[in-house]
Amino acid sequence: MSDFRRIRFESTVGAGLPVIASVTRVLASGDPITHITGSLSGTLGYVMSEVEDGKLFSEVVLAAKSLGYTEPDPRDDLSGMDVARKALILARLLGQRINLSDIQVESLYPDELGPNSMSTEAFLESGLSSLDKDVDERVRSASSKGNVLRYVCVIEGPRCQVGLKELPKDSPLGRLRGSDNVVEIYSRCYKNSPLVIQGAGAGNDTTAAGVLADIVDLQDLFQLDS
């Protein structure tokens, strides 16, 4: 009996979306991927598309929390670390030997509003609203140029950044609404028109479907190797 190990981790990035499978397939075809841009947080996707309509950042975050989109402490989402972990997985798939500490991450709140300085209750009651003015100014600035703000990861060579980025309204990421995830993959074949993967990037059903697909895939591999 052969000694081997197999691992599947599709749901670590886009729940049920075939993000890792698509990246792996493109690379396996011999088509080098130049960069990946993606909105990998359903929570932040929802928040940024809602503030685009003129709603207050604090009100949108509280609404997202009431809908069950955020963690119990929304700062777990607003810190950007969840997106950074997903970006790290994709960067390593592309062969980049980087660690989480190598990723430039933009948090949507300052350190003085962080968990080490303020309780969750205090943040929700007073700290969150103090962020409204800055976010509104950035949204208006982007809009004046015909752009929108999205919280995205950008992976290009050894460079990996996570944070707010101005994007054209008519781009796949610019058209993003609600809690969907969107990933744009650029390569030699997909140079001018990227491979776009879009759909529900969170939720019990979609995540369970992704995990089940990995289990079935592993079962097939075991049968082939037995």
DSSP output for 16-28: TS-HHHHHHHHHH
Confidence of residue 1 (pLDDT cuts 50, 70, 90): very low
pLDDT tens sequence across 47-56: 999 999 999 9
Question: Position 73: which residue type?
Answer: D
pLDDT tens sequence across 167-206: 999 999 999 888 899 999 999 999 989 999 999 876 677 7
Strand order in the sheet with 104-105: 104-105, 159-168, 147-156, 33-39, 180-187, 195-200
pLDDT (0 to 100) of residue 213: 78
Q: Tell whether the model's pLDDT for residue 224 goes beyond 70.
A: no
Nearest-10 Cα torsion for 176, 210, 60, 113: -120
Q: Tell whether the model's pLDDT for residue 222 goes beyond 50.
A: yes
What percent of the chain is modeled with pLDDT above 70? Answer: 94
**Helix-strand-coil percent breakdown of the chain, rounded to 5?**
45, 20, 35
Which of 184, 149, 183, 163 lies closest to 80 in space, CA to CA? 163
Domain range annotation of the chain: 11-225
Chain CA centroid to CA 80, Å: 9
CATH code at 11-225: 3.30.360.10
pLDDT (0 to 100) of residue 168: 94
pLDDT tens sequence across 93-135: 999 999 999 999 999 999 999 999 999 999 999 999 999 999 9
Question: Position 94: which residue type?
Answer: L
* Average pLDDT of the segment spanning 7-36: 91
Active site residues: 86
* Average pLDDT of the segment spanning 54-78: 94
- Rounded Cα–Cα distance for residues 29 and 120 (Å): 48
